[in-house]
Structure 1
Amino acid sequence: MSEVARGCQPDAQRDNKNLMQRCVHHVFYFGLSGEIFSEQIRRTLLVNLFSIVGIVFTFPLGIAALYRSNTWLALVLLCFAFIFCINQFYLRRTRNHEICANIIIYPLYFLMLYLVFTGGVNGTGYVWIFCVPAVSLFIQGIKRGVIEMVIFTLLLIVILYFFASVYGFAFHYDEDLRFRVIASFIVVFFLSTIYEYSMSRFNKALHESSKQLKEQAETDPLTQLLNRRGMQQRLEEAEGAELRLVLIDVDYFKNINDQYGHD
């Protein structure tokens, strides 16, 4: 019996591993198939992760704020947790990562500015703003992301330097702390921009290289027509569609190749 059990153990482990992979693929990729590194699947995965992270952080922190009797902060955090939950269901249903990305980023801007404005818990609300540049630049892209980050930085400066005098609402930060918050945020913004720009250039070059290799693998170098692999690929892509195939044969063409060479 022990030998039989040992013999079956690899199959059981393999089944468990396959089940785990299917669960992960269903939860994070929504069952999307195809190239795992395609742009659509990559963006859907990351937008999904951003949404999950938003729920995981805002909901418990909202409950904690409610426990501390910080009613306004609790309501805001729980409201955003609800928005992220709705976004998660919408993304799972439609897989429209563009709309879902906007549902994530613009409430995130508002939430971060609100935390800075009110101070969050004991004046620590500003510590969350440093995640904004990376998320914004990925979701909105370099051009739009930089514009929105500049606007966000200006609003941050206005809140920290001009709203501190609003009694009963705005949190009062020390002069040194305000300067360091702005300076460190600009540094993170600058580094995130450099990283996202370099990654976009790398991804573009990789995409072009992959496209060229695909064309070379599917094209006959002499005639620039599809070779056997390329024709087979097109036939598989057009499965179920109405097709026309033309075959042309040249009599005694082998003699020409033998006499003059294939080139």
Structure 2
Amino acid sequence: MIPFKKWFGSKPQGEELIPRLDSDNIPNHVAVIMDGNGRWAQKRGLPRVAGHHSGMKNVKKITMAANAIGVNVLTMYAFSTENWKRPKEEVEYLMKLPLEFFPKEIEELIANNVQIRMTGWKEGLPEYTLKAIEDAIEQTKHNDGLILNFALNYGSRKEMLSGVKQMAQDITDGVISADAIDESLFSSYLLTNPLPDPDLLIRTSGELRISNFMLWQLAYSELWFTDLCWPEFSEQHFYEAIGEYQRRARRYGGL
């Protein structure tokens, strides 16, 4: 049985599922594509931004659920490089969510030893968005528990192209040699360095694709999809995904 850690707030739903999980087979890194906020809202006759607000509140619930069972890294795909194409009003609302989320939740995150990180490009983000994130990173930098990593203004193809360009420049400058290039070296040029590759990817809303998210890092990740939209994805559903992960055999191309 996996015991609950000390809780600052209420325990998550799905607590009864935790004893069924194998404490020796908890994924080290779980990545989540939090999809379906807008559709969840529209189905209820609400504006799309209402879905994003509900989705934001769900981030803490799933973070605490992951923390309770010993997940070490939880990456949330919050905003992609392609999301700038969305309506201006929606983008502006999304950019303001960190200003509401972090001041409201930071004390509980600190109490639960959660460390905030960001993977993505700072360039292009509004100053107020960046400040809210950087303040949270600074306030939690000494925590050594779960890493809550927000993929914000992130796109995997851009990430890989940027890494290749920097690697080529380092070869030209004599920093590295072409013969030294291997998977480990290439990984060190990616924005996710030094985080481990995800063991499990969860995507909500019924879409069966990875949408330019960690294309290199997900090479051998287990994929788990659900028709549930992100605001209705509960702690119990999270534990169900972990249980499915534990039932799979990870062979990495072998037998």
Query: For the superposition of Structure 1 and Structure 2, which TM-score range results when normalised by the shorter chain?
Result: under 0.3
Q: Relative to total residues, which structure has the larger helix share, 1 or 2?
A: 1
Question: Relative contact order: is structure 1 or structure 2 higher (C-alpha 8 Å, sep ≥ 6)?
Answer: 2
Q: TM-score, normalised by structure 1?
A: 0.27
Greater C-alpha Rg: 1
TM value normalised by structure 2: 0.27
Structure in which a larger fraction of residues adopt strand = 2
